Structure 1
Amino acid sequence: MPLHNRKYLKKYRRDLRSNLTISEARLWKALKGSQLDGRKFRRQHSIANYIVDFYCPSEKLVIEVDGGYHRNESVQIADAKRDAYLNSIGIKVLRVLNESVRSQLGMVLEAIRAEFSTTPAPPQRRGDGL
C-alpha cells in the first residue's frame, strides 16, 4: 500500500481542500506556488492513514494549523500519537495556532523557514526552456 495519498482518502482530502479554515486559507496563500523560498507545499495531503494540513516533500515537513479543537485532551493525545508516527518515518511536524496565522503570519513563515534544511531549494522551471 502506498504511503502517500491513499485512494480511500481522496474524497476526504478533496472535501478538506474545499473547506479550508480562514487560517488555513491564509497560510496556503503564502505557501502555494513555491512562494516560500522555492519550496513546494501540498495542502490536505495524506501520509499513511493521516491527512495533514500542509506537506513539503523536499523538506519532509508537515505544517499543522491548530484551532481550539486541539485544546481538548483526547485530541492532544491523538495529535501526539500522529506526530510520533510521522517523526518515526522521518517527517518533521510543525504545529502553529490559528491565532498566530491570523495575527502574526510573518512570524509563522519565519518559523517554517527555520525548519528548512540549509540547502536552498533548486530553482523552479516554468517549462519555457529557461
Structure 2
Amino acid sequence: MKHHTVTKNYKMLGTARTLRRNLTPQERRLWYSFLRNYPVKVYKQRIIESFIVDFYCAQARLVIELDGSQHYTSQGKAYDAERSDILQQYGLQVLRFANNDIDRHFDAVCQQIHNIIQSRISI
C-alpha cells in the first residue's frame, strides 16, 4: 500500500502550540511518564492535515489519541470516525484510549503502545 506524504496545515501552528502548553492531566501523564523518553521519537500535539493529533510516531506511522467524555457523544463519535478515516488514508494507525484507561490501567496502555510501535517499525 502506497503511503501519501503526511501534510500539515501551518495555520494550525498557534493552536497546536497552545494545546502543547495545556495538556490534559492524562496527556501530561502519558507524555512525561512514558512517551517523552521512549526510544522511538513521538511528537505531542502534532498537525496532520487540519487535525491536531494528541501524539504521533512518524516512524511507526501511529497516531495515539486520548479521549475525554466529549468523544462519546454521537457528534463526537461521528467526528472521530471521519478523522480516523482521513488519517488511515495516510497509512496511519489510530490508537484510542479513554482518559480513564490512562487513570486506571496506565501500565497496560503503555505496554499496548509499545507493542504496536515495535510491530509497526519492524515491518
Q: TM-score band, normalised by the shorter chain?
A: 0.7 to 0.9
- 8 Å CA contact 1:4–1:45 kept in 2: the answer is no
> Counterpart of 1:114 in 2: which secondary structure?
helix
Deviation for aligned residue 1:104 = 1.2
Paired residues in the alignment total 117
Larger helix proportion of the pair: 2
Q: Which residue of 1 aligns with 2:35?
A: 31
Q: TM-score when scaled to structure 1?
A: 0.83
Deviation for aligned residue 1:117 = 4.1
* Residue 108 of structure 2 corresponds to residue 111 of structure 1: no
Which of 13, 17, 33 lines up with 2:16 in the alignment?
13
Deviation for aligned residue 1:116 = 2.0
Quick one: percent identity of the two aligned structures?
Answer: 32
Alignment of 1:1-130 (within 5 A): 3-29=6-32, 30-33=34-37, 35=38, 38-118=39-119
Kindly tell me: are residues 23 and 119 of structure 1, through their superposed partners in 2, closer, same or farther at Cα, counting changes over 3 Å? closer
- 8 Å CA contact 2:6–2:90 kept in 1: the answer is no
Structure 1 vs Structure 2 CA RMSD = 1.8
- CA–CA distance in structure 2, aligned partners of residues 96 and 47 of structure 1: 19
- Unaligned 5+ segments in structure 1 are 122-130
- CA–CA distance in structure 2, aligned partners of residues 64 and 119 of structure 1: 17
Give the partner amino acid of 2:10.
K
- Unaligned 5+ segments in structure 2 are none
